[in-house]
Amino acid sequence: MQSLRPIIFLVFLVVPAPSSAQNTDIETLRTLNLEGNTKLDQTFLAITHSFGPVSLAVPATLMTIGAIKKDSLSKQNALMITGSLVGSSVIMLGMK
């Protein structure tokens, strides 16, 4: 009986089981969005579209402050943030 346990376990992993969990999530989101408050839609769109400029402004501001104060640590942090931003953007585009 001990030798059958791994085989039974593998059978349960391999055999697909019907699931409705994802469908429930989609239906809940549709219900919320259809009856949702649309007054804040423009605000949320503005926040969404501000992501790019803010992402570029943070390292640029940090680099500028580092240059004005002649602080090499701030410059290094700005370069680190820029590298992280570029790396995550490349990964994101690659996944799309």
Q: Specify the pLDDT at position 60.
A: 94
Average of per-residue pLDDT values in the chain: 83
Q: What mean pLDDT is predicted for residues 27-43?
A: 78
Amino acid at 38: T
Q: Which residue has the higher pLDDT, 1 or 6?
A: 6
pLDDT in tens, 65-75: 999 999 999 99
Nearest to 87 by CA among 38, 16, 95: 95
How far apart CA 81 and CA 7 sit, in angstroms, is 49
| Helices (runs of H) and strands (runs of E) counted in the chain | 5, 0
Q: In 17-71, which ranges are continuous DSSP H helix? A: 21-34, 41-49, 51-69
Per-residue tokens: 66: 């580092």
Per-residue tokens: 40: 């804040």
Q: Specify the pLDDT at position 32.
A: 76
pLDDT in tens, 4-33: 777 777 767 776 666 555 678 788 878 877
